[in-house]
Amino acid sequence: MYNKKALMNTYMQLPNVFTHGEDIYLFDEEGNKYLDFVAGIAVNGLGYSSNVLKDALKEQVDKLLHISNLYYTDTMLKAANKITKVTKMDKVFFCNSGSESIEAALKLARKYAKYKGYENRYEFITMKNSFHGRTMGAISLTGQTRYQKGLAPLLPSVKYAEFNNFESVKNLVNSNTCAVVVEVIQGEGGIILADKIFLEQVRALCDDKDICLVFDEVQTGAGRLGYPCGHMYFDVKPDIMTMAKGLGAGVPVGACLATEKIAKGFNPGDHASTFGGNPLVMAAVNIVVDEMLNDSMMEHVRSVGEYLHKQLTLLKSEFKCIKEVKGIGLMQGISLTYPPKELTSKAYENGLLLVGAGTDVVRFVPPLVVENKHIDMMIDILRKVL
């Protein structure tokens, strides 16, 4: 029916054409039903049946879609005040994606260095095995060469440290360092959890050297770990934080947040985004903060996350091909003795949507509204497939 060749060849897509969703299920044009543990890759936190979100978007469509950032809008101001309050950050810049939020963070870190008089501070320290996005700055930060193939020369001022190895970070810091960039969980790298002591040590180092500490929370933010921000699980606060994915519950949005001190690096004209913070996406962000980042929802995520971990651990005891259960909250994974594509393909054939992470991990990032019964269904399918 559709000419799929009209799309550029950038994705390895499933053959289905999906038409609609209900609860945490997706349906294709032939009426096939799939239990969705991908959630748009950690995006659709409210699932597919949130009338509150739908009504807010429909109402906003009738009011105002876009007027540019030359003017304030009520939805943007509401969203800005809500998101800074719940994240305990001071300032926010809204954009359209995770990659854009990373680009904003890079610029802000350098502008802050210049604001403080550090004229030669331009280098970034990031982590091996990390992933920060697809734009040139973000891909330069990404510590995986497979994503950088054919794109050289990259941003030249990036150094790669060993994740969870403080001495590796410390040894790379010099008079040119303006920021250290860290994921609190390496998502695309294979669901690798940061060590709390490592984050505390990097925080102390950045404080001592007046270097920006940037947490990439594109995937771990917006309640995915059972806290409004993933770093709250570790009780270590960054200077700059990036968010996206679940922040819009399906509507494209990104955010770069910063402390009052660091935000002084930006002045009018230093950065911009034509569609960033437009009234429609801000309507979604307001709902997400109200519906997803409240205490009861965070408690729910922690509870079902514990249940998911328990069930995956039981599954591991049954099948030797599962090497490890990884992650927390609703960002978990299992590492396998064979390529994850083998498992995700068979799961798809049995009505379950899963996605890989890294070279040997199958990732579980369902909507935050997932329930224990859905986890049981997923485990039953996995057990059959395995």
Give the CATH fold of the 64-291 domain: Aspartate Aminotransferase; domain 2 (3.40.640)
Report the candidate in 162, 159, 200, 196 with the shortest Cα–Cα distance to residue 178.
Answer: 159
Which pLDDT score, from 0 to 100, does residue 12 have?
A: 84
The strand pairing partners of 255, in sequence order, are: 94, 243
Which pLDDT score, from 0 to 100, does residue 1 have?
A: 67
Which pLDDT score, from 0 to 100, does residue 301 have?
A: 98
* Alpha-carbon distances of 60 from 42, 51, 82, 111, 293, rounded to whole Å: 25, 14, 18, 35, 21
DSSP β-ladder status, 158-161 and 123-127: parallel
Q: What residue has token string 């992650």?
A: 327
| CA geometry: angle 185, 159, 176, nearest 5 deg | 120
Distance CA 178, CA 15 (A): 45
Q: What is the mean pLDDT of each run of 10 residues along the chain (386 residues)?
A: 84 90 96 97 96 97 96 97 97 98 98 96 97 96 94 94 98 98 96 97 98 98 96 98 97 98 96 96 97 94 98 97 97 97 96 95 98 98 96
Q: What residue has token string 């550029």?
A: 8
Distance CA 189, CA 42 (A): 15
Which pLDDT score, from 0 to 100, does residue 101 have?
A: 98
Report the candidate in 219, 262, 217 with the shortest Cα–Cα distance to residue 239.
Answer: 262
Which pLDDT score, from 0 to 100, does residue 15 have?
A: 87
* DSSP code per residue over 151-219: --S--SSEEEEPTT-HHHHHHH--TTEEEEEEESEETTTTSEEPPHHHHHHHHHHHHHHT-EEEEE-TT
Residues 6+ apart with CB under 8 A from 344: 354, 355, 356, 362
Residues 6+ apart with CB under 8 A from 18: 26, 27, 28, 29
Report the candidate in 291, 292, 221, 226 with the shortest Cα–Cα distance to residue 257.
Answer: 221
Which pLDDT score, from 0 to 100, does residue 173 have?
A: 98
Pick the CATH number of 4-50+295-385 from 3.90.1150.10, 3.30.160.60, 3.20.20.110, 3.30.750.24: 3.90.1150.10
Query: What is the location of CATH 3.40.640.10 in the chain?
Result: 64-291
Query: What is the location of CATH 3.90.1150.10 in the chain?
Result: 4-50+295-385
Which pLDDT score, from 0 to 100, does residue 61 have?
A: 97
pTM of the model: 0.95
